[in-house]
Structure 1
Amino acid sequence: MYSSYILASLPYLALALPSHQSHTKRDTTLIPTSCFDTTASLTQYFNYGYPWGDTHNGAAIMKETNAVISTAGTLTLNATYTGASDYAYDSGTVYAKQQFTVEAGGGLDLTADFIATVDQGTWPAFWLNGVNSWPPEIDIAEWKGSGDISFNTFNSSSEVQAKDVEYPSPTEFHTVKAELRDENGADVSVNFYLDGTLVTTQYAGSLVGEPLNLIIDLQMEGSSGSPGPTGTTLFEIKNLEIIDKNP
């Protein structure tokens, strides 16, 4: 009789118990592809300039007026030559208001489409850096005036993983994606993709649990050489999306 009762109760127990699927965290969108639809949506998710100010390792000073939504869905950063003796360009930079962390057992996916200049003296970049210290730094995509796109991970100023590949058709949009994953409870693996193809995998040491800033900037000269152009340079970004895969 006891066994019969248990057997009869099993269907009800099955209904009451949560499924394995209910314990699996769904991906969470931290920044949606609509973030560049309007100026209002841009400023909902991003601040102008760098987290520390309006200059960084180059010849441009960053101004709000040089980071604009000229076409719905596309952020345009424009660098204009002024010839000033201290900073010869006015340009644009934005950084995400939210900070991003790879948690233990988790990860992040960052994707966007770019039209990026590869001319000498132009230095567009899409990158992560440490909130509390440098390093870490992960250059999800960087163009340094050589005709290439660069994917880099800095564990120190001397411990750098770098991969340069030819950047095709720079006047057309190309998709860049980085998959960041907890590798071993301390280090983070980074898969870098260009137009859906895995280009390289690099490793950021002791990055699990460390907060990161996301920066999109159009710097000039500096590591991209000089002299830079004397006209106007554009860096266009659309379909930016950041997905949280943390537990």
Structure 2
Amino acid sequence: MKKLTHMLTALFLFAMFLACKKEATHQIANADQSSSLLKTNAVSWVNVIPANSFNSFSTYWNNLYPWGSDHNGSARMRAENISVSGDVLTLTSGPSGSVGNSSSSPYLAIHYYSGTIYAKTVPVVDDSWPKWHFKGEFQCPSQTGTWPAFWVTGATSWPPESDFMEFKGSTTCWTNTYKNASGGWSSVGTTISSPANWHTYSVYMTKTNATDVSIEYWIDGSLKSTQTGANFVGKGLNIIIDYQMEGSSGTPGPTGTSSMSARNVIVEKSATL
């Protein structure tokens, strides 16, 4: 009987040990989870342009470029070449015939009509909002002469410029910053498998000092490049989605119609780093 009592006591103590160990493990797991949540919530985002903004197009977007219908390629932009269906934006390009030259340098002959939009929101990286996030899903053509892009440029002067996504007649997606710390361009090319399928392009722009920003370029959830944007701080930025043609994307372009599409474009800002 005495032996049985000792055995029961030993079993009870062992059970208590396992229970204490389980509780300690649970507390550690909770602490790790809390730490992870703190890191995740360290940046508190304020939405500026929602993912369904194309359904309320006139609330968030304008037709054409901020400066008009022409830019540095051979396409002249028109509202007729911009369409929205099911919250998907489509910019369509087609031959224009002979309609003169572009009004913007390098003044190329206009061969196409196409579409471009820009956001009514003008982001400014500053002390109040030192961190911005730009993101969208795109289907892009990649044949010679097609030039789709998602980018920002100075609202009142150039530079600055940051190209979040730019295809120039190939399957290489270019992410570019002007100007960089050396006063020129930083450019990184990434080969995209089937760019005509949906891919996600995302950028984090963060104030690093009184004048400069760090720009992280992500594609499909993978960081592709981190570049420095010199003298971006305090400068208003126009957000542009455009389907330009020829120029830097090569010639001749398509003989018929072609298009690029966008969806789930969001813009967020944070007062915390």
TM bucket, shorter chain: 0.7 to 0.9
Aligned with residue 93 of structure 2, among 40, 65, 79: 79
Q: Distance in 2 between matches of 1:115 and 1:66?
A: 16
In structure 2, the residue matched to 1:32 is 50
In structure 2, the residue matched to 1:242 is 267
In structure 2, the residue matched to 1:210 is 235
Q: Confirm or deny: 8 A CA contact 1:110 1:241 kept in the other structure.
A: yes
Question: Counterpart of 1:211 in structure 2: which amino acid?
Answer: G
Gaps of 5+ in 2: 1-41, 101-109
Q: Confirm or deny: 8 A CA contact 2:183 2:230 kept in the other structure.
A: no
Q: Distance in 2 between matches of 1:215 and 1:242?
A: 12
Gaps of 5+ in 1: 1-23
In structure 2, the residue matched to 1:225 is 250
In structure 2, the residue matched to 1:134 is 158
Q: Confirm or deny: 8 A CA contact 1:102 1:246 kept in the other structure.
A: no
SS at match of 2:169: coil
Q: Confirm or deny: 8 A CA contact 1:66 1:92 kept in the other structure.
A: yes
Q: Counting helix residues as a fraction of each chain, which structure ranks higher?
A: 2
In structure 1, the residue matched to 2:149 is 125
TM-score normalized by the length of structure 2: 0.77
SS at match of 1:42: helix
What do you get for the CA RMSD once the two structures are aligned?
Answer: 1.7
CA offsets, 1:41-92, max 9 Å, x none? 11110100000010000111100011110x2110000001123252111100
CA offsets, 1:131-177, max 9 Å, x none? 12111100011000022100000117961000011121122100000
Q: Confirm or deny: 8 A CA contact 1:67 1:75 kept in the other structure.
A: yes
Taking the TM superposition and a 5 Å limit, the aligned residue runs for 1:7-22 are: none
Taking the TM superposition and a 5 Å limit, the aligned residue runs for 1:98-247 are: 98-104=121-127, 106-155=130-179, 159-246=184-271
Q: Confirm or deny: 8 A CA contact 1:76 1:236 kept in the other structure.
A: yes
In structure 1, the residue matched to 2:21 is none
Question: Counterpart of 1:151 in structure 2: which amino acid?
Answer: T
Q: Distance in 2 between matches of 1:30 and 1:136?
A: 21
TM-score normalized by the length of structure 1: 0.85
Q: Confirm or deny: 8 A CA contact 1:137 1:155 kept in the other structure.
A: yes
1:185, CA displacement in angstroms? 2.7
1:25, CA displacement in angstroms? 8.1
